[in-house]
Structure 1
Amino acid sequence: MKIPSFVKKVFVGIPIGITIIDLVGYVARVDGISMQPVLNPDKNSTDYVFLNRIAVKSYEVNRGDIVSLVSPKDPTQKIIKRVVGIQGDIIATLSYKEGVVRVPEGHCWIEGDHVGHSMDSNNFGPVSLGLITAKASCIVWPPSRWQIIETSLPKSRRPLNLTVVEVF
């Protein structure tokens, strides 16, 4: 019995596709308002972003990166947030049980850009770098929003230890 060429291509293509998704990245839909205005700028829009897995393979993230991670509250859910602090930073929290937190080694502090409308480190504390799965590199859909996602951090959310260094 001869196997059709289409079936052969599928059996070869599926493992290649899975490998690319696991190693390089994939496109994902961003739901919700927690990252407004950078993502989903109005309530009638939905952004699709390229999530770059290569960018976080070494567990190196920078302040201002927008990352995808497994939710510390619900491991079945993925969330997308901005890195506000990295290990060693001192963060003035917005609503966490402690007003000021030093981010422990191997962790980061994440927040949504839409303050008060985000489940983030202000709810569950510093996040292990091992939960980060990818970095959002660019908006790929809708075409009117095509753009590279810039790494930036609002001045009001900079770690306290950076603010002290900048003054002197």
Structure 2
Amino acid sequence: MAQSQGWLRRYFKALCKGFFVAVPVAVTFLDRVACVARVEGSSMQPSLNPGGSQSSDVVLLNHWKVRNFEVQRGDIVSLVSPKNPEQKIIKRVIALEGDIIRTIGHKNRLVKVPRGHIWVEGDHHGHSFDSNSFGPVSLGLLHAHATHILWPPERWQRLESVLPPERFPIHSREE
């Protein structure tokens, strides 16, 4: 009887130690390296949620890739909404700091993206709450870079950083 209680006690201690190591490691990984998120809405159609309201894509969000605020035109990123800090939105990077972009419905027809900012838009124009509504977005609001669709299984794929030809900046900082 005493031996079985000793074994049970050792097992419980090992379980507790494992738990108190695994939980902080998992939380740190999800906060700093990568996590998954369900994409809602139609603003990124057809790239994400092509089935409309019947389906929601689940994407892998890579925090590590945006830790130095290094994004490229065409990247799909998650960011804190400039209008509602409780909400995260997912959009495509259209222009980087220094670029001049022709807007779609913004109060100014042409916008030069200020230093430390990016211009983001949803792929489904007219159904997207994006920079055309709230202007350039501070790089400090970047949350993660969406790299893969994980669910549904028939849509498993890497998300490519592709900029629609009609959305290239009029003048980019590389020119």
Q: Per the shorter chain, which TM-score range?
A: over 0.9
Equivalent residue, structure 1, for 2:24: 15
Using the aligned pairs only, state the percent identity: 55
1:114 counterpart (124, 128, 142): 124
1:137 counterpart (135, 147, 151): 147
**Pairs aligned (count):** 163
Equivalent residue, structure 2, for 1:37: 46
CA–CA distance in 1 between the matches of 2:101 and 2:51? 29
Q: Which runs of 4+ in 1 moved over 3 A?
A: none
Measure how far apart 1:32 and its partner are: 0.5
CA–CA distance in 2 between the matches of 1:10 and 1:48? 27
CA–CA distance in 2 between the matches of 1:102 and 1:144? 40
Report matched runs for 1:1-168 at 5 Å: 2=9, 4=12, 5-43=14-52, 44-162=54-172
Which amino acid in structure 1 is aligned with residue 31 of structure 2?
D
CA offset digits 1:123-146 (Å, max 9, x no partner): 000000010010000001111000
Measure how far apart 1:122 and its partner are: 0.3
TM-score (norm 1): 0.93
5+ residue gaps, structure 2: 1-5
Structure ID, larger Rg = 2
Equivalent residue, structure 1, for 2:3: none
5+ residue gaps, structure 1: none
Which amino acid in structure 1 is aligned with residue 116 of structure 2?
G
CA offset digits 1:74-104 (Å, max 9, x no partner): 0000000000000010011101111100000
Measure how far apart 1:7 and its partner are: 2.6
TM-score (norm 2): 0.90
**What is the SS of the residue equivalent to 1:28?**
strand
**What is the SS of the residue equivalent to 1:161?**
coil
Alpha carbon RMSD of aligned pairs, Å?
A: 1.4
Which amino acid in structure 2 is aligned with residue 30 of structure 1?
V
Which amino acid in structure 2 is aligned with residue 94 of structure 1?
I
